[in-house]
Chains A and B, each alone.
Chain A
Amino acid sequence: MTDEKLIPSDRELQEMQYQMMVTSAKPKPPLLRNVLGAFVIGGAICVFGQALLNFFKSSGLAKPEAGAATSAVLVFLAALLTGLGVYDSIAKYAGAGTIVPITGFANSIVAPAMEFRQEGMVFGVGQRIFTLAGPVLAFGFVTAWLIGLITYLFK
């Protein structure tokens, strides 16, 4: 009875063969092209951010305010470009290059909300803007609170 388990059943064999077929048929991601796209476009977004940062600093804003203003402008542009459908076209080449910068956060708010607009302003847009942003804010706030708590306890 025990060695029955050692021999895979026909069904299990079929399953294994199928899995192997799937793995071999799946197109391999063109890694080099993806990495290059992410590097160049992600880097370019940061250079644009640096230009904004320098501009806000030279116009007299303090460092934290200049950073906040930079984020606001980047987020505005990303929301606009997502609405126009341009951001997604760039994302095809950029991969993580359009996810990792703060513009990707804005994109993650607009894209699901637009898609579910027919469900109304409250349950469609109002709720869906937090589909991805919700988890980000939850994890971000909890982590920051824990760090604050640790600082409070040990300093």
Chain B
Amino acid sequence: MDYVKAFVVGGAMCVIGQLLIDLTSYKITPAHILVGFVTGGAVLSGLGLYQPLVDYAGAGATVPLPGFGHILAQGAIKGVQTKGLLGAFSGGVEASAVGIAAAIIFGYLAAVVFTPKGE
């Protein structure tokens, strides 16, 4: 059952992104989707609205980019609760460290190892 929920909720988030690209008259690029979804997820999470979705859909809510914003926001909140004001700086970065470091490390290595197709 958790696979069905992950599929439907995760798929629905991608549909929202697709509709934003196709239906709005603004020139929405993948960059806007990336930034908007991460920021939007962080804001929803700060308002306490994202955790229920994570509880319901599991990876369907954590794998899409708003889940990344959720981790950042919850990290900052927990950081403040345990370390005070310093935690607002460290909490989000610490909570998302594995994902960000993995993306930069694997991203760098892949770009060094592989040559683009057209070359």
Chain A residues near B (Cβ < 8 Å): 29, 31, 34-35, 37-47, 49-54, 64, 67-72, 74-76, 79-80, 82-85, 94-97, 99-102, 104-106, 108-110, 113-115, 117, 121, 125-126, 128-129, 132-133, 135-137, 139-141, 143-145, 147-152, 155
Q: Could you tell me if A101 and B10 are in contact, using CB atoms closer than 8 angstroms?
A: yes
Name which residue of chain A comes closest to B14, CB basis: A42
Residue from the list A64, A80, A102, A133 in contact with B64, Cβ < 8 A:
A102
B99 on the interface (CB 8 Å rule)?
yes
Which residue of A34, A40, A74, A101 has the most chain B CB atoms within 10 A of its CB atom?
A101
Known: A38-B18, A109-B104, A140-B92. A46 touches B10 (CB 8 A): yes
Name which residue of chain A comes closest to B109, CB basis: A79
Contacts of A151 in B (CB 8 A): 76-77, 80-81, 88
Chain B residues near A (Cβ < 8 Å): 2-3, 6-23, 30-31, 33-35, 37-39, 42-43, 45-46, 58-60, 62-65, 67-69, 71-73, 75-77, 79-81, 84-85, 87-89, 91-93, 95-96, 98-100, 102-104, 106-117
Interface of chain A, main secondary structure: helix
Q: Could you tell me if A147 and B46 are in contact, using CB atoms closer than 8 angstroms?
A: yes
Residue from the list B42, B59, B102 in contact with A144, Cβ < 8 A:
B42
Contacts of A106 in B (CB 8 A): 103, 106-107
Docked pose: A49 CA to B110 CA in angstroms: 21
Contacts of A102 in B (CB 8 A): 63-65, 67-68, 99
Known: A46-B59, A96-B33, A129-B104. A71 touches B98 (CB 8 A): yes
Q: Could you tell me if A31 and B31 are in contact, using CB atoms closer than 8 angstroms?
A: no
Docked pose: A95 CA to B45 CA in angstroms: 26
Name which residue of chain A comes closest to B54, CB basis: A67
Q: Could you tell me if B15 and A38 are in contact, using CB atoms closer than 8 angstroms?
A: yes
